[in-house]
Structure 1
């Protein structure tokens, strides 16, 4: 059977119901030219003009059918455009994207993987550069870890994802992530560059961008090569891909239309409070889960201005390090560190006492009914202890970032309980509009209470030594 390398390059820049991404056109041109300049790939599928869901899925199916008769050594998959996450799977939004027809108008990461497994390549590389403006957010590492746990069924895999990026705007001519990937190859001074070298370059490059942290899954040999540095690669000038086509900015009328479309995602304070009330109602369903009502009474405490939250400093650190639009003020505190510095002369030494500041707490001037909920599981029996789930909402005019953690307690006196173990904060984003309009559901919050219930059951079994 003949051996081949295959590449799939998909760019979606035109959208009917959400904001267009003109920068994706330049992403496509640059990545397409780089892939061809490697002189490595025998079969290349490029999708960038007609990108409706039916056309894209038809072209993909036909391409996979075409290469299934070959022994595929490497499959390279690249996507640039809007991305969304439904709580279980990563989905790539196509031109006719609609929240009401989420599965029909997106390209599912899981379905792509099924097609990849069918051709059984020796190596799979996926480079995903997504923007989430106007669609439900892709959270980042914790969600993505769950998505890619299933990659074990693919022999060798390198996955590179732009993660939490909201980088595309009409001022961006080329996405940071795609540019960084290509620059790693164009700037390479050796003869042949590996995928691990590309990943290392991107990681170093993104240390400058606090608002975006790329995500990587490496299940390859760590020695797999991307390409030989050909003369064609050396001749690629990235500056040629930094201009928009003339028709990307047609008129001031288009700008006004885009602003109006974007403004539809914004809510009033009253509407935001209605969203919070819906979320609280969903969380109260914890009482209906297995065994919970038999063992505990549920109390949901509303908290304002983020007061009395265990390990809030971790959230403060996130806010401080990630540019955002949330109505949050970070409180800092002085930290004195003593750093012993030896002189070049053995008989001399001195202590330096630099004063630095660290994020310690957060506050807000936004006066809403609550910005934190504490789900308190109060035991009905003396053999079990209390548990608590803290859910913190960082609020902007169009979205919220939700942090949540679980707390177990220890009894330090007669019916006196102190916090024992606090889990790490998990977090995700959600658009208000998705809840308000009924286009989205509250599945992410259902997932929180399911996780909390499982956390309680596991903790009780461990503590009471129950199989």
Structure 2
């Protein structure tokens, strides 16, 4: 029988504030569960939309297997609609919560399919938070049917806020600290319950909510000495502000401020530089080129690449400008501006202003401003799939990178182009994919590479199949 850990951290949202600490939350929890040596598979995933979260759970736990234990962790935005709690995907829209989020009931249905002997849930989620405040977390009900034993750790009651932090969310840090309190002997999940209860005694601002349908003998680890290396990581990589011996409660206390020099030195280690920028972009572009297997499509398309050191691909300009113009960035490594329309006090002026704001076709990209101010050797990658048959259309993938001190912005545009001459194709194509990502300078681009290549492969495969089906009917 298997024991599986599924760890999800959503930091970047299209409609909600970013929660950067959620990436480190997942890294810390992954290090913790790895140190226990109890889990045969650990799936650590970040920045998933709702479909990605569902697929991650299905992939991690096959319905054909039986499980001793499933450990589920989530850090990110959450919301309560009616009586249902939703884990927010990165594209969450409260007008379509079941499509763009995963309800607590749906998660339980997915997990119940493998009938685990023990389900452990740790939920550090927000209801409607700002950058450093995670809002009200409801008490997540667990149906008694389908799970033999259940342990649940929730970061706060539904009437309270749950604090994020730097580098870890406060409750996640408190959970990790509680896990390493003992230095010898077995560590039971009930030990963590008890430590957290004491940590938050007298804290009227945040009261964790716990559920225990168990024997009290369920183990986090059979020997606390196995966590020695993880304990060291908590004091080095995830030291952050001093949380003291009383964990999360003391994180809210006033501490001696760091000097300006120490703050600047700490920031330097997180920021991008020419070497980091080059390494990340090389990994991304080369990874896509290596991952995209044109063997399946070689008889249908001729594949060639074009690279630019500046932003020359017209199809990507609109997306890059609109995203960067509304992002708060501590630099101008890339200039992206949408000039405001001049308005008049009369009705015509107001109507004209509305047209500019709402109609990109009327405004036109020539009115935008996009400049790469820093030096890059590779800013854009264009991958052309030119058809070998006249009945097929050209597919064009454009990847663009826009560096900032804090992170790298990555833009993906996939278009399909009709033929305009015997050997030429329209410059403007129908848009198949339009996505953008933010990646920290110490993060790996593997997940983005996979998404980009899967989308390109699926588009090529679908176009071939649809064209063949149409020809078969003629």
TM-score, normalised with respect to structure 1: 0.48
Q: Which has the higher contact order (CA 8 A, sep 6+)?
A: 1
TM-score, normalised with respect to structure 2: 0.47
